[in-house]
Amino acid sequence: MSYFHVLLSAVLVLTILSGAAATLVAVKGDTRNSDAQRKLVERLSHIALLGAVTIITILSRVLNG
C-alpha cells in the first residue's frame, strides 16, 4: 500500500467514526440537559467536518497533479 492509500484510509476511517459517534451520542444522549454531552457532540462533529475537508483536499491534489 502506498503512502497515499494509508493516509486516505486513516482520514476516512477517523471521519466516519467521528461522525457516527457524534450522531449516536446526539440521538441516544440527553444533550439538552448535559453540557458535557453537547460539547462531545460538537467536538466530534468538528473532527468529522475537518476530516471531510481533508479528504476533499487530498483527492483534489491527487487529481490536479
What size, in residues, is the chain? 65
Q: What pLDDT is stored for residue 29 in this prediction? A: 87
| pLDDT mean across residues, the chain | 93
- Distance CA(29)–CA(2), nearest Å, equals 40
**2 pLDDT above the threshold of 80:** yes
- Domain, as residue range, for 35: 3-64
- pLDDT of 39-52, one tens digit each? 999 999 999 999 99
- Distance CA(8)–CA(58), nearest Å, equals 8
Q: How many domains are there within the chain?
A: 1
- Alpha helices in the chain, H assignment, sequence order: 3-28, 35-64
